[in-house]
Amino acid sequence: MNALPDSVPPFAADSREIDPAQALSHQRDGALLLDVREDDERAAGLPAGAVGLARGEIQARIAAIAPERDREILAICASGRRSLLAVETLRGLGYARSLSVRGGFARWKQEGLPVEQGALDADSAERYARHLVLPEVGVAGQQRLAQARVALIGAGGLGAPASLYLAAAGVGRLTLIDDDRVERSNLQRQVVHADARVGMPKTESAKLALNALNPGVRIEAIAERVDASNVERLVRGHDVVIDGADNFPVRYLLSAASLRLKFPLVYGAVHRFSGQVSVFDPRRADSPCYRCLFPQPPSAEDAPNCSEAGVLGVLPGIVGLLQASEALKLLLGIGQPLVGRLLCHDALAGSFRELRLPRDPDCPGCGANAVFAGYEDIARICASS
């Protein structure tokens, strides 16, 4: 064991620091190496064998980690400043044999001392740094996002902004489902595409943009149109499905699949200068479904699409980002998702209005007497409207 110089008592009040190599030797002899950086800082790595405990949590948690007050504790931070403050706290709590590692983790690595991988790799720790400092997300939440699977139905007006921010947030796998190709008229609002990719399948165009934004996210591009024959195959196995469809038949099929497969459906729609967002989550007994909002599909005359009625280009961006926000809340298990609520946005008035959307006991989709006669039957209902 490398001892401190004989002229300096090992744990004298004016001798609060120890070099990294000495700290490693003491650790191997039984000292507790305590990494007092924040969780997000340790996400990229920490000294091998160190126990992570943020400096602000020492007073509340150290007794459970080190019940014996005479144990030697070596505090390490990024550069050696916070660890000195940690030593003052520890000594004040009766841990007299506490020392700070001089130079912190930066010097520890510089000297080639053993390091173990943190909960996230270095790229992720830097990329998601603003997430990691949020207590509601943190390392555990970011890991949950990395393991999540989200399907986006449509890579157009709503799917474009939603996919960009979900990829940026680190959702591990995004499935893009759309059979359309990029047109120049799309570029006014479908911001995931570019002029150079006009004519390319939308899913492939979006995949190029999303991979450039975040290479760590897996993008699956499926150039198919959702219909009665494939809806369950396309959405099965996803944690959340985002409805960015532009037609009622697909919305009704997704609603039925959501009820049967028990996945939350994040609904969004835009028309001219207005948009709306809600969440239909069949895992909750109080949640309505899409058909509680629209029991029967409206006629084409009553519900023209964007090419017929027009839409303010920025509006799908606002609604698509609200859908992405709802998806992240569902994946992280935080906040209050828009279940049982319909959020309406009027872009001309610059206002939001929330409407109560209770579950309809007589709903043809989720009501007590609802009968599922197959997806083909739902397609026929929509076709007859």
**SS3 call for 120:** coil
d(CA 265, CA 271): 20
Q: Among residues 81, 241, 65, 77, which one has the least CA distance to residue 148?
A: 241
Beta-carbon contacts of residue 7 (< 8 Å; ≥ 6 apart) = none
Q: Among residues 346, 246, 360, 353, which one has the least CA distance to residue 296?
A: 360
Q: Known catalytic residue: 306?
A: yes
Q: State the catalytic residue, choosing from 77, 289, 292, 306.
A: 306
The neighbour count for residue 376, using CB atoms within 10 Å, is 11
Q: Are 74 and 99 in contact (CB under 8 A)?
A: yes
Q: Among residues 121, 92, 103, which one has the least CA distance to residue 22?
A: 103
d(CA 199, CA 344): 33
Residues counted in the chain: 385
d(CA 201, CA 213): 19
Question: How many helical (H) and strand (E) elements, i.e. helices and strands, does the chain have?
Answer: 16, 15
Cite the active site residues.
306
